Chain A
Amino acid sequence: MKEFKPLPALPAPKDTVGMGVWVKQNLFPNLVNSMMTVLIAGFLISVVPGVIDWAIISADWSGTSQLDCKKDGACWVFVSAWMQQFIYGSYPDEQLWRINLALVVLVLVIAAPNVLQKELRNKLGVPMFLLYPFVCAAFLDGRMFSLEYVSTDYWGGFSLNVFLAAASIIIAFPLSFLWALGRRSDMPFVRSVCLILIEFFRGVPVLALFFMGSVMLPLFFPTGTSVDKLLRVWIVLILFMSGYMAEVFRGGFQAIPQGQYEAADSLGLSYWQKTLLIIFPQVIKVSMPNILATFVMLFKNTTFLLIIGIFEMLSTTQTALSNSNWLGGHATEGYLFVALVFWCCCFSMSMISNSIERKLDTGHKN
């Protein structure tokens, strides 16, 4: 028996590793790709320095009024001067703490179900979650808490986008789950009604729903009653959101193996026990990436409210742009700022969604 002497591992040959090789393989592997590299690089070189110069180097960063926009580049003074409106709308200055508090509570309410233990979560986290929209609305309004009354006409800015989106998804969650259950129901009438509801709210343009909400909804109520505009919008958003989420849940239901339903039945669980204890947790887990994606879509759609006169962030920007003190082509700065804010939020949410999906994915890699 000979002793086996393994060969030492050699470093890779010089001409196959290293920066030079990487550049050749990834940027210039063949003629066509080399031309594309040159084209794209050329495009970047011609555009990027100009953009950086406009946005940062030649830009005005500090000041308070139009007069401070002295340099050639972007005038970020415009953004900083209007920052409060962009975020809080026309909410009175002394009451801004209410919006801040509501935002902090929102973060807590979202984090709670994920962080709390099971007992606390079911008894405290979930009810808090579901009650939040109502409490928040009453709080911002003020009357029920004997605070100064702030009419919804003054609510606006980015905080409004956030509140509307959050409040809508919170209520849409249980509603859409019920619709999704109904769609799977054995009772034909229930199934048809849910199907019609889901297809209606998914198939109609959002804007049409908003218009219906502001123009048609008042007709549905007894003569003389007036329903707050923001409340109407909220109802429409909930219904719209529920249509999409119901489809997401439907996919989730189908992803759960038939064996789960059978096992629950064989244990003797009632329909609601089976649904809430066994199916619901699994559906949520499986559907989470899609739920987040739907939420991101809803969040972006809150900007559409501009068209029916709700003063969310985009609308506020337009108002600022047409303000007589600031005339002079700050459209780019304004829209870029809004774009950046939304982009940050949506991008982070999609990153979170991706990491959840990766954790759930036990499938093969390509």
Chain B
Amino acid sequence: MSTELQKPRSFFNNPRNRALIYQILLLLGLGYFLFSIVSNVLANMEARGIKSGFGFLFTTAGFDILMSLIPYDATHSYGRTFLVGLLNTILVSVIGIVLATIIGFVLGIAYFSKNWLVRKFSIIYVEIFRNIPLLLQVFFWYFAVLAALPAARESISIGEAVFLNVRGLFIPALVGEAGANVIYLAAIVAVVIVIYLTKQSKKKQDETGAQFPIGRVALLILLGLPIIATLTMGTPFHFDYPILGRFSLSGGTTIIPELMALSVALSVYCGAFIAEAVRAGIQAVPHGQTEAARSIGLKERKIMTLIIVPQAMRVIAPLLNSEYQSLVKNSTLATAIGYPDLFTVFVGTSLNQTGQAIEIVFMTMAVYFVINMTISFLMNLFNAKVALSERK
């Protein structure tokens, strides 16, 4: 037998040793880099007299916030401002995601309409709003559109209930009275009944082949049961109407123009990208699928739900995931118009007042990470359910 295989190889030529050496070098380099940063930071903070630690969260904030979903005033702590900002961010994100999805799906499907005007409208909308910077759109809605609304005294109004003016949108607030809980209960019961009926109708179809119009029945129950409950309980709620005083309105619920501008801009902008995703998803399904389904005699609507949508969602779902995350990140533009989201309130005002940049920025970024991880997680669940995947 030859002895070549036993010839000692150079230490450095062994790929495993090389890999080890590279990684050790990288580790040392990173370590030194981080070490110098940390020491600089500590030195700088000392020089500027900035405290460190999370104790500031319990000290008084001392500033007002334009809009809050939970009770808040200047005597509350910085920790509270964090919560207020977080809720506001979640609010505008949810509104944005819902509206953008509706706009996106409507326009995405409109691209395939028989109607030439509808198709062109869809294309033009997407090409316009995709290519204009989002900040510009936010400014347009806030400074050009909403600022042009009339003063409180000359509000645009629908009856005595809804007022739109330069200070915001004033709508009646729904105030539940004693019996209101029954309505909530009725809604929950309706959902349970619908879930049960859906299972039963599927079983029945498997056994006898007969199809039950579950869609329409479900809608009837979901709407009907709470309505019946409302009527039998003597409509146990009233509206708190906004009342036009001398200079402004009081009562009711106010939707501030900052929230309106930001949500509209986010929805319009992201809606365009979602429309693109929907279009790409539907186009990805080969036309032969539709033809084969037609040749079996399936009705058009069934072709959509059984054949096209499951295959399209395979392409659409990951794109939706990244669009939603992008929307949440873009909501930080609230800073530009003063909507009190997490970024504005915490990284803006609170950081300015306390100077504790590291802690505040770290907390904020952790929050955005968590929100985006949650979105990713929920979308993956959704993906697994709807987009029945093909195994290769």
Other-chain contact of B332, A205, A212, A303, A343 (Cβ < 8 Å): A205
Give the chain B neighbours of A208 by CB distance below 8 A: 332, 343, 347, 361, 364-365, 368
In the complex, whether A277 has a CB less than 8 A from a CB of chain B is no
CB distance from B225 to the nearest CB of A (A): 31
B-contact bits for A313-356, CB 8 A (1 contact / 0 none): 01000100000000000011001001100110011001000000
Instruction: Establish whether residues B23 and A189, one from each chain, have CB atoms under 8 Å apart when the complex forms.
Output: yes
- B47 near A223 with CB under 8 A, answer yes
In terms of DSSP, what is the predominant structure of the interface of chain A?
A: helix
Is A222 located at the chain interface by the 8 A CB criterion?
Answer: yes
Given the contacts A25-B114, A33-B115, A206-B329, A342 and B368 also touching, CB distance less than 8 Å:
no
Do B361 and A220 touch across chains, with their CB atoms under 8 A apart?
no
Task: From B127, B283, B333, B369, give the contact of A304 (CB < 8 A).
Answer: B333
- B70: CB under 8 A from chain A? no
Residue B41 CB within 8 A of the other chain: yes
Interface pair A314/B332, CB less than 8 Å apart: no
Q: Which A215-244 residues have a C-beta within 8 angstroms of B?
A: 215-216, 218-223
Q: B30, B116, B132: which has the most chain A beta carbons within 10 Å?
A: B132
Q: Is B37 in contact with A314, judged by CB distance below 8 angstroms?
A: no
The answer to whether residues A314 and B118 also contact, given A223-B43, A331-B143 and a CB cut-off of 8 A, is no
Instruction: State the Cβ distance, A51 to closest chain B Cβ, in Å.
Output: 13
By a CB distance below 8 angstroms, the chain B residues around A207 are 332-333, 335, 343
Q: Tell me, yes or no, whether B44 is within 8 Å of chain A by CB.
A: yes
A301 touches B131 (CB 8 A): no
| The residue from B133, B143, B147, B372 contacting A342, defined by CB atoms under 8 A apart | B133
User: How far is B37's CA from A212's CA once the two chains are assembled, in angstroms?
Assistant: 14
Q: A204 in the interface, Cβ–Cβ < 8 Å?
A: yes
Residues of A within 8 A of B286 (CB): 364, 366
Q: Which of A33, A203, A301, A347 gathers most chain B CB within 10 Å? A: A203
Say if the beta carbon of A360 comes within 8 Å of chain B.
Answer: no
If A26-B114, A216-B357 touch, whether A338 touches B131 (CB-CB below 8 Å) is no
Cβ-neighbour of B26 out of A193, A218, A339 (below 8 A)? A193
Asked if A204 and B368 sit within 8 Å, CB to CB, the answer is yes
In the assembled complex, which residues on chain A have CB atoms less than 8 Å from the CB atom of B364? 208
Q: Which residue of B has the minimal Cβ distance to A34?
A: B115
Minimum CB–CB distance from B369 to chain A (whole Å) comes to 6
Among A60-119, those with CB < 8 Å from B are none
List of B residues within 8 angstroms of A215 by Cβ: 351, 357, 361
Which of A12-20, A36-44, A145-153 faces chain B? A36-44
A30, A205, A207: residue with the most chain B Cβ atoms closer than 10 Å:
A205
CA distance A58 to B139 in the complex (A): 25
Minimal Cβ-Cβ distance residue in B for A308: B335
Against B, the Cβ 8 Å flags (1 = close, 0 = not) of A179-199 are 000000011111001000000
Check if B237 is an interface residue, CB within 8 A of chain A: no
State whether the Cβ of B128 lies closer than 8 Å to any Cβ in chain A.
yes
Q: Are B140 and A205 in contact (CB under 8 A)?
A: no
Q: Is the CB–CB distance between B116 and A27 below 8 Å?
A: yes
Whether the Cβ atoms of A189 and B26 lie closer than 8 Å is yes
B128 to A343, Cβ gap below 8 A?
yes
Q: Which residues of A lie under 8 Å from residue B283 when comparing CB positions? A: 366
A174 interface contact, C-beta 8 A: no
Which residues of B are found within 8 Å of A256, using beta-carbon distances? Answer: none
Give min CB distance, A362 to chain B, whole Å: 15
Asked if A124 is an interface residue, CB under 8 A from chain B, the answer is: no
Please state if A335 and B133 are interface contacts (CB–CB under 8 Å): no
Chain A CB within 10 Å, residue with most, of B23, B285, B364: B23
A306 within 8 A of B: yes
Q: How far is the CA of A129 from the CA of B372 in the complex (A)?
A: 36
* B40 at the binding interface (Cβ < 8 Å): yes
* A173 contacts B by Cβ under 8 Å: no
Which residue of the partner chain A has the closest CB to B119? A26
List 6 A-B residue pairs with CB atoms under 8 Å apart, sorted by A's residue number.
A29-B114, A37-B117, A186-B19, A189-B27, A307-B135, A307-B335
Shortest beta-carbon contacts, A-B, top 4: A346-B131, A26-B116, A205-B329, A300-B133
